[in-house]
Copies of this chain bind each other. A is one copy, B any other.
């Protein structure tokens, strides 16, 4: 019988891992659809190389740093690794999307390597892992089931550091502060990518319960997936309604980002809530996307895919939400959540900033204006994404 738990939890981890890997093409399609055609191939290349470099880095170094060792009694240690490995690329995917259309490939891939062997593993260690800082201030007691902070905010802080260094895309902001709209080039790809992410999230959050082989854990997994989905629905809904009320139009890229915002927000505690609370968490998540996307533009933080609003802001919101809606005064407290957010913020932002600055010395992050005008595809990849289609831009 004991073996059956081992077998089923191994199988379930592999199932969840598979769904998460679907997020690799998910992010790739989402971002490829949101940028201009002249930068599509570069975006796809960056996403692919991140998956390669980050996964290998995590296999060789990062995983051991994050968790101390590979041992696991409750499921195959290889399955446990695969599930965790599926996470690591996401952190850098989150970041790379936001610096699209002007980032050079070499430096972002170098950063992916550093993030996968050092930055992300340390965040995991102090949040979920073996914790070599046990009984110090950095022994976090934040509840973050599937990584609102550990994954999404970490990626978001790294993105903020990168945007501060790299600056906005050529021509994005006028001299008088006006924002030039740069339309997404392929809406079907955006939609496909967003739904692949959405489906991948079932594995991300559901798998993070860690077991499905008892009645209680099966319930927890199912509730987690239900609540995850609900928050995504609510996030999309509120953006659709607000957008329509304001502009009499339905902006599908904003609606999908609203849904993703809701999904990020629920990620810290999808197993903790009843089935209606996620509606509220998702509504606020979507609202934050609606409000923060123009706000970041006002700050001239140019983020072509809205990743700061979706991942950073909602990562924070989701982690706070656990403290607000699920505190038990014992191991989950609002202060514990805030402390976790702050520690990860300081660490992830400052270390990312430092490494990006160092990389920038040897491999400048930013493509210059001529390169941006030509497009990253020809400059970095020597090929166009759609060479046969006549362009009107």
Contacts and interface: CB of A to CB of B under 8 A. Distances in A.
Interface string A1-41: 10110111011111101110110110011001100110011
Contacts of A36: 388
A188 B186 contact: yes
A250 B50 CA distance: 13
B82 A187 contact: no
A296 interface: no
- Residues of A contacting B: mostly: helix
A10 B226 contact: no
Nearest to A54: B233
A209 B79 CA distance: 15
A241 B390 CA distance: 32
Max chain B CB contacts within 10 Å: which of A185, A234, A279, A387?
Answer: A387
Interface in A42-86: 44-45, 47-49, 51-53, 55-56, 59, 75-79, 81-82, 85
A196 interface: yes
Interface string A185-222: 11111011001101100110010000011110111011
Interface in A219-250: 219, 221-223, 225-226, 229-230, 233-234, 236-237, 240, 244, 247, 249-250
A249 B106 CA distance: 10
A393 interface: yes
Interface stretch (A147-155, A308-316, A376-384): A376-384
A44 B191 contact: yes
29 contacts: A7-B215, A11-B11, A11-B15, A15-B15, A17-B225, A21-B195, A21-B202, A37-B389, A45-B250, A45-B252, A45-B255, A48-B236, A48-B255, A55-B229, A55-B233, A75-B218, A78-B219, A78-B222, A82-B229, A183-B384, A185-B386, A186-B386, A247-B382, A249-B380, A252-B381, A387-B393, A389-B389, A389-B391, A389-B392
Given A21-B202, A55-B229, 12 more contacts: A18-B202, A28-B191, A37-B389, A49-B236, A51-B233, A52-B237, A76-B218, A82-B225, A82-B226, A85-B229, A386-B389, A388-B389
